[in-house]
Amino acid sequence: MLESFALSALDSPLNQWIFETYWLWPVMEITHFIGLSLLMGGLIIIDLRLAGYFQVLDPAATHKLVPLVLLGFGLNLLTGILFFYGDPMRYSINIGFQIKMVLVMLAGLNALFYYWKIKPAMAGWDRNADTPPVAKTVAYISLTAWTAVLLFGRLIPYVGTG
């Protein structure tokens, strides 16, 4: 399925524009890194507080970082799509990319679980009390998944086709 999508992206106008614009790829790399910094920087604080660390911080106060996290994710999503369109055959068969995408989906499902189950319950938490085990589990899954996304993303240029 991914390879058939890659074939449709190949020689598309977007593919040609990315391929022919020599300055675009480095700008996308820089933008992707900025997005990653916003995403991971905010999530590390949010997730570590959710895991029970930094108890001097009100758990609800850490949510002021969510817009930065979403901005970072949006930048990474946009540049990630452009990377794929820029070299679709390379990405579609790359095992590092494939694992990264599975991990992004896992992190997304974990985030949905957080918003459906954890965030509504946070209003009743004592800010100085330890967080419940389910919240800690969600935090550790998030930290692990996003760290693995980062690592597999870095491996894309160096790993083969599986």
Report percent pLDDT > 90 for the chain.
54
Q: What is the predicted pLDDT for the residue at 122?
A: 76
Structural domain including 40 reads: 2-155
Q: What is the predicted pLDDT for the residue at 78?
A: 96
In sequence order, the 6+-apart residues with CB closer than 8 A to the CB of 13 are none
| pTM to 2 decimal places | 0.85
Please give the tally of structural domains in the chain. Answer: 1
46 lies in some domain? yes
162 lies in some domain? no
In 3D space, the residue among 1, 161, 3 whose CA is nearest the CA of residue 92 turns out to be 3
121 lies in some domain? yes
Lowest pLDDT segment from 37-41, 82-86, 143-147: 82-86
Q: How many Å apart are CA 128 and CA 115, to the nearest integer?
A: 21
Q: What is the predicted pLDDT for the residue at 152?
A: 95
Say whether pLDDT at 1 is over 70: no
How is residue 93 written in tokens?
A: 């068969």
User: How buried is residue 122: exposed, middle or buried, by Cβ count under 10 Å (0-12/13-18/19+)?
Assistant: middle
73 lies in some domain? yes
Say whether pLDDT at 113 is over 90: yes
160 lies in some domain? no
Kindly report the average pLDDT of the chain as a whole number: 88
